[in-house]
Structure 1
Amino acid sequence: MEEQLSKTEFRNAMARVCAPVNVITTNGPAGRGGFTATAMCSVTDEPPTLLVCMNSRSTQTALFFENRRFCVNVLTQEHKELAGYFAGQREDMDDRYAAAEWIDFRSGSQALSDAIVSFDCRLTEARLVGTHHIFIGEVMDIRSRRDGHALLYFDRNYVHVPTQSGSFGG
């Protein structure tokens, strides 16, 4: 019989995985919400699709399901404080949003005006796995900038990895 890994062992191992920090927002008939996440990745480029994981115990879960939209905002080094607010340091959603400037996509989703990149997604599928919902979103629109350094999370801390300016060719 195989031994099962403990929750602590798994969490400690995952802390060793470097990940970009994102603020995931939603806006629509159910209202506006948002949370900080590192669990985000691309799924496919045909059609452009990504996934985000959200704790199923979050009081905002219903907002995301009802709005059927979400926006992934990839943060820069300058957004450490904002990441904390959306991670729960500020309970009031209006206070979280007041801490930054936002731009509306045609869909009504709100994008962080100075995010490295923002992906406006239509929720196409959701699946509950353990303690988290996996949201699959078809990317409907993108805003991006050519400069800035991504805010990364590693070993339970924000880290800075120097890179060349921009990631676009020629």
Structure 2
Amino acid sequence: MMECRFLVPERDALMHSDARTSEGQDVLNGFKMAMRRLASTVTVITTALDGRRYGMAATSVTSVTAHPPALLVCINQSASIHGPTIANGRFCINLLGVDHDDMVGPFSGQAAGEDRFAYGTWDAHSGGLPYLLDAQANLFCVLTKRVSYGSHSIFVGEVEQVRLCGDTEPLIYQDGGLYRTLGLPTQS
């Protein structure tokens, strides 16, 4: 039988002050380990403000409703894209395909600012909103709600336009790695 365990201290251990401190760390470590088991399509979130482009890689993107079509994305409040997304009121979710694994590093902090856009071929939608030309899909959103939670903001965007390109071959992130198809890691 498969071994399973709860990552919360025993009830008796909660009587000791050092156990109470470690309880939060146990849950945090367990949470991180559990999230590594959640496979997600890798995206690049983009916006623009005053002629400057902003972008970040993200896997914390999900649909909210079909009526109206809406998505949510979670963005760290310290990320350079956070303020411009609020100020612009619009953002684009670019769904990456299997051939985009070279973009993940730069949009995850290995490059900064405009240097991130040296990777991939970009165009500008109305208002200068950058979108990746060969993304599997581009979802252009109007920011309709923002909720602060911990270190992040949850942005809900109503989809105003969708652009589809090519076959359905998503770049998947799971267990700390990129996968071109489920179960087969990329070579990067």
- CA drift at 1:30: 7.1
The farther-off stretch of 53-62 and 71-80 is 53-62
Given the alignment of the two structures, is residue 159 of structure 1 paired with residue 159 of structure 2, yes or no?
no
User: How does the TM-score come out when normalised to structure 2?
Assistant: 0.79
Given the alignment of the two structures, is residue 72 of structure 1 paired with residue 72 of structure 2, yes or no?
no
Given the alignment of the two structures, is residue 58 of structure 1 paired with residue 50 of structure 2, yes or no?
no
Which structure has more relative contact order (CA 8 Å, sep 6+)? It is: 1
Counterpart residue number, 2:6: none
Unmatched segments (≥5 aa) in structure 2: 1-10, 15-22, 183-188
Counterpart residue number, 1:124: 144
Counterpart AA for 1:156: G
Counterpart residue number, 1:89: 110
The answer to whether the 8 Å contact 1:26/1:69 transfers is yes
Counterpart residue number, 1:142: 162
The answer to whether the 8 Å contact 1:56/1:133 transfers is yes
Question: Moved runs in structure 1, 4+ residues, more than 4 A?
Answer: 1-5
Counterpart AA for 1:109: L
Identical-residue share of aligned pairs (%): 36
Deviations 1:92-120 (A, max 9, x none): x2211122211222343111000000101
Unmatched segments (≥5 aa) in structure 1: 163-170
Counterpart residue number, 2:18: none
User: How does the TM-score come out when normalised to structure 1?
Assistant: 0.87
- CA drift at 1:61: 1.5
Larger % of helix: which?
2
